[in-house]
Amino acid sequence: MLHLLYGVILGEAVVILSFLFKSPLRKVVIVSLDRLKRGRGPVVVKTVAGTVAVVLASSLYSISEIRSRMFDLEAGVINPTDQVLLSKHILEASLMGFVLFLALMIDRLHHYIRELRVLRKAMEAAKKQNRSFEEGKTTSSEEQKALMEEIAVMRPKVKQLESECEAKGSRVKTLEGEVEALKKQSEGLLLEYDRLLEDNQNIRSQLESISKSSSHVDNKKSM
């Protein structure tokens, strides 16, 4: 389960990084997401996300149940198995929440990239039309006046499109900063996972030594 979650997180991180740089991979990812959002794709994605959310809720319930059981025990008596299970459920819940968050970020980044492409195309078309109006020769004063009026109407639209493009660009930069923060958080989770593995190994060694000691005492009693 943990290896699968780490694989999904790695894949989502690759997708997010592909959005930040112009490359053939970025085009492939955008086209793939466009196709995924058509037909039955959204239903499948929602089903998978719902399944992950249900498993996440189950892990959170198990965490609360183990903690309540640990609090009910007498002071100084803690089951090592419960400690290992608690650490495992906490790590799984964190990774599943991280997977859902990255999936939401991928969806938003894809949406903003599509909007930016549409705005850029509209702005380029408006600039070309404006340039053609300015460079075109008029045959009469009435036609020239009409062209000037159309140019005056188009210029505010061009400025509005440029401001919207700048706003979307700043939003993309903000998301890039969030991606960098998420990368650092993922590194912290990996370190936490290594620490949990080391704690698990230590607990197992302690249990084995306790088991050997108890068997040695039983042998002495039987003699």
pLDDT at 116 over 80: yes
46 φ/ψ angles, rounded to the nearest 5 degrees: -65, -35
What does the pLDDT average to over 81-105? Answer: 84
Q: Which residue has better confidence, 140 or 150?
A: 150
Q: What is the pLDDT of residue 76?
A: 47
**pLDDT digits over 189-203, tens only?**
778 777 888 887 888
Model confidence at 208: pLDDT above 60: yes
Report how far residue 32's alpha carbon sits from residue 156's, in angstroms, rounded to the nearest whole number. Answer: 36
DSSP output for 6-30: HHHHHHHHHHHHHHHS-SHHHHHHH
140 pLDDT higher than 70: no
Q: Cα(86)–Cα(66) distance, rounded to whole angstroms? A: 7
At residue 52's C-alpha, the angle toward residues 51 and 55, to 5°, is 90
The answer to whether residues 30 and 117 touch, using CB atoms and an 8 Å cutoff, is no
Q: Tell me the average pLDDT across 155-160.
A: 86
Task: Check whether 77 has a pLDDT greater than 60.
Answer: no
